[in-house]
Amino acid sequence: MATASYHPALLLLLLGLLSAAAARPATFQQDFRITWSDSHIRELQGGNGIQLVLDQSSGCGFASKSQYLFGRVSMKIKLIPGDSAGTVTAFYMNSDTDTIRDELDFEFLGNRSGQPYTVQTNVYARGKGDREQRVNLWFDPSTDFHTYEISWNHFRVLFSVDGVPIREYKNNEAHGVPFPKSQPMGVYSTLWEADDWATRGGIEKIDWKKAPFYAYYKDFDIEGCAVPGPGAACASNPANWWEGPAYRQLTAEQSRRYRWVRTNHLIYDYCTDRSRYPVPPPECALGV
């Protein structure tokens, strides 16, 4: 019988794809664990979806069972409807290392009824954070599910909402700016009370008469290198799809949508906050 032979570059690509495919979750229970208050997390649709609950007794949280180094993570989330002031629903990646942690954050800041929902993004690299940006969402994220995605490689981190890029954070290590490229990160989510800062800087407090508060998740999707695991070596494999040219810079259509978001919906950018940074951080002049 003849044996199939592969060009070395093709073999690397196939191995990378197999590693990524192995990390794709099927159900919540299979690939995630509850980290905080299991009585406040309820599985729905046979584990394909979950409900997070916040009341005066507790919030809650969950995390992936594995950590990942590069790839793409997305979830569909339906946020708290009505008066959600003082609440924070977070979806983020974290290296779980104290002073040198890497972290990529989506934080959905609750609002008073009728006001836009704000999503805050932040990037920590080698323990350095304070890189917040805030965007007012252009739709009501509490009436239906929307897809929130973090993609991450050696070249950039990209935050997207329903496929629309809302933040691109580029690798500027050549200019002395740390970039999260060496530590695997777990996937986390929490629902918690933060009325000291979450809504209008803490002016709007949580109204516990409206509790309990609910957020819903479904369609968990992780495509990347699980660490530790059979895909541990694939993080350095340049043949992985997430390292390809299409994932190094925005397409023309993505660039158009990105400019639209930044022009019409960006409400805070640490790069322009002169009270915090009289001299802007170096990456700001390089295009973060």
DSSP assignment string, 108-168: EE---TTSPPEEEEEEEBTTB----EEEE-SS-TTSS-EEEEEEE-SSEEEEEETTEEEEE
Catalytic residue among 107, 168, 193, 283: 107
Catalytic residue among 43, 103, 132, 253: 103
Is there a contact between 226 and 235 (Cβ–Cβ < 8 Å)? Answer: no
Is there a contact between 117 and 136 (Cβ–Cβ < 8 Å)? Answer: yes
Whether 132 sits among the annotated catalytic residues: the reply is: no
Kindly report the backbone phi and psi dihedral angles of residue 38, in degrees, each rounded to the nearest multiple of 5, phi listed first: -65, -20
Whether 103 sits among the annotated catalytic residues: the reply is: yes
Please give the helix or strand (H or E) that residue 214 lies within, else none. strand 213-227
Residues 6 or more apart whose CB falls under 8 angstroms from that of 201 comprise: none
Q: Which residues are catalytic?
A: 103, 107
